Amino acid sequence: MVVGCGYSGSAFLRRIAGRATSVVATSRSPRRFPELAALGATPIAYDGAGPSADLAAALAEASHVVASAPPDADGDPLLRHHRADLVAAPSLVWMGYYSTVGVYGDHGGAWVDETSECRPTAERGVRRIEAESAWLDLAEGDGVPVAVMRLAGIYGPGRNAFVNLADGSAKRVVKVGQKFSRIHVGDIAGATIAAAAALASGLFNICDDEPAPPQDVVAYAATLMGIAPPPEVPFENAELSPMARSFYSESRQVSNAKLRTALGYAMLYPTYREALETMWRDGTWRDEAAA
């Protein structure tokens, strides 16, 4: 069962197609029901605003739950309305929660791992830490393992530098020393499968092997497309949304060593180069349905 089945959750559904006796996925929008059904899932409408009888009935049958919905000002919506249903679920053996590496906040460009201090400066990071704690508390009290998966910047088919270059929105903003960690959506799906198979519990960074300056990713995609990259713009002069600017206020390099050693996971795309090359070669860069 995937609660809050968006871009990452849909990629996970594609990877487990045919491997589960039944799959349920929730979405805020009934307009996505045909898409979810095409992925082999029974869709349920759920917006997190209150409890859902349909969701409670599905949880009672679930063996594995992946929660992808973000927390709001009042905490994690699934735990707020359905914690008792998760505790009572007789067949439940594993739960996964999609969080973000944003919980680490600013470490001045230093490497961080799952033992590093969390220093979020943005409210969204604080909310994520609180949600992580709630999920881990559930695991401790209920005895069902929960893997909190901290996702780096997500990209893949339909959401990548090629798309931004094609529509004219790509920028090469340069801030000296700034690097971002990222993860291809296919590796989110693969890591989730590995964590579920191992009944893993605890914190896991889900990111590739090479944190890199964002302008380098854009330049590499432009090279593959055979076009000139947009000019570099100093961060101080860049026109950025408040959200985008806030990302540049935090700098760190995220290690995936625990993912590779504890779960034995081998990255499909160890760096952005392999991912971009594959999407360009296969022509899947435009197609979000290929994620």
Q: Are 155 and 220 in contact (CB under 8 A)?
A: no
Structure tokens given for 132: 């992580």
Domains of the chain (ranges, CATH numbers): 2-156+182-207+254-268 (3.40.50.720)
User: Which tens digits make up the pLDDT trace of 73-87?
Assistant: 999 999 999 999 999
SS3 call for 78: helix
Q: What's the gap between Cα 169 and its chain centre?
A: 22
Query: Tokens in use for 209?
Result: 């092997």
CA distance 160 to 222: 12
CA distance 61 to 49: 22
Euclidean distance between CA atoms 287 and 150, whole angstroms: 25
Q: What is the CA radius of gyration of the chain?
A: 19
Count the residues in the chain: 291
Question: What is the per-residue pLDDT for 291?
Answer: 85
DSSP 204: E
CB 67 within 8 A of CB 38: no
CA distance 234 to 100: 27
**DSSP 8-state code for residue 117:** P
pLDDT per residue of the chain (291 residues) written in tens, 0 to 9: 999 999 999 999 999 998 889 999 999 999 999 999 999 999 999 999 999 999 999 999 999 999 999 999 999 999 999 999 999 999 999 999 999 999 999 999 999 999 999 999 888 999 999 999 999 999 999 999 999 999 999 999 999 999 999 999 999 999 999 999 999 999 999 999 999 999 999 999 999 999 999 999 999 999 999 999 999 999 999 998 988 888 899 999 999 999 999 999 999 999 999 999 999 999 999 998 888
